[in-house]
């Protein structure tokens, strides 16, 4: 309740008495400076060791004051720092070693040097070893018809996998999907004499494809297909004659062999 002036009557007249002033205390609370808002954006969230990762950090606040010091912690024991920045974004790249495969948390910390305010942001990435393919055959040369059993397997990367097997002789390409990489076998018979390249192609769920190839020599004149790279002119002539023989459609294999022997 407010106090009204009081009039005191004295013999010599009256005087105005004012209420005595009462001191007041006002409490002001100052909160901690608001943290900087930091966002972290990686170029991929699933990838491979040995492949470059690009990460962009951005920070903002209504009263932001440069310069800034920025630290990237890659989650594998390594860090990168930049100081005295006047922009509000920073992009860095990093490559994870094979030993660092796994799920990694990237942490970016920003310090506003003028005010001491800080902020941090995080992002997670999964890093795996690159897809591998194993492709073998029980034999790589022999007389036609030549039955070859291929063994196929895959690992690492991101399963399940899809696969194709091209025998290289114009026959139907085999394929499959939903494969976990466990070894399987396929047997194919090369009925015509010649040198063929069998190719196994495996693709993981990220779309990364790897190939493995084998050279198969089938027929009486190609028992050692690896010799081709040492005698390219001779084998070039063999291929040319073989095409001519096929074009003439001999009545029997013996006739083809005889004609081939004469031309060579």
pLDDT digits (tens, 9 = 90+) for 195-229: 999 999 999 999 999 999 999 998 744 445 556 66
Q: Which CATH number fits domain 37-128: 3.40.50.10470, 2.60.40.10, 3.40.50.920, 3.40.50.620?
A: 2.60.40.10
Whole-structure pTM value:
0.69
The values of phi and psi at residue 172, to 5°, are: -60, 135
Tokens coding 264: 């060579």
Per residue in 137-176, pLDDT (tens digit) is 999 999 999 999 999 999 999 999 999 999 999 999 999 9
Same fold, 37-128 and 132-230: yes
In the chain the first and final C-alpha atoms are separated, in Å, by 126
Distances (CA, A) of 79 to 70, 84, 108, 244, 246: 10, 17, 10, 66, 65
The tokens of 252 are what?
């029997």
Radius of gyration of the chain from its Cα atoms, rounded to whole angstroms: 40
Kindly list the domain boundaries of the chain, sorted by start residue: 37-128, 132-230
- The CATH architecture one would assign to domain 132-230 is Sandwich (2.60)
């Amino acid at each position: 309740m407010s106090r009204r002036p009081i009039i005191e009557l004295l013999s010599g007249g009256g005087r105005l008495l004012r209420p005595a002033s009462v001191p007041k205390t006002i409490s002001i609370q100052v909160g901690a400076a608001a943290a900087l808002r930091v966002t972290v954006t990686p170029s991929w969230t699933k990838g491979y060791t040995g492949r470059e990762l690009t990460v962009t950090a951005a920070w903002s606040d209504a009263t932001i004051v440069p310069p800034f010091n920025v630290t990237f912690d890659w989650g594998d024991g390594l860090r990168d720092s930049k100081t005295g920045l006047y922009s509000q974004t920073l992009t860095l790249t990093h490559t994870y070693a094979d030993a660092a495969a796994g799920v990694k948390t990237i942490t970016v910390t920003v310090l506003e040097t003028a005010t001491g305010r800080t902020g941090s942001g995080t992002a997670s990435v999964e890093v795996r070893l690159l897809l591998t393919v194993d492709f073998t055959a029980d034999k790589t040369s022999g007389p036609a018809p030549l039955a070859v059993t291929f063994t196929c397997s895959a690992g690492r990367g991101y399963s399940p996998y899809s696969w194709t097997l091209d025998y290289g002789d114009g026959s139907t390409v085999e394929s499959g999907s939903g494969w976990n990489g466990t070894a399987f076998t396929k047997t194919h018979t090369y009925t015509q004499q010649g040198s063929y390249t069998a190719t196994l192609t495996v693709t993981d769920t990220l779309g990364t494809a790897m190939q493995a190839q084998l050279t198969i020599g089938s027929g009486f004149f190609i028992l050692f297909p690896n010799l081709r790279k040492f005698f390219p002119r001779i084998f070039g002539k063999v291929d040319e004659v073989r095409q001519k023989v096929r074009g003439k459609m001999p009545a029997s294999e013996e006739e083809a062999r005889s004609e081939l022997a004469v031309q060579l």
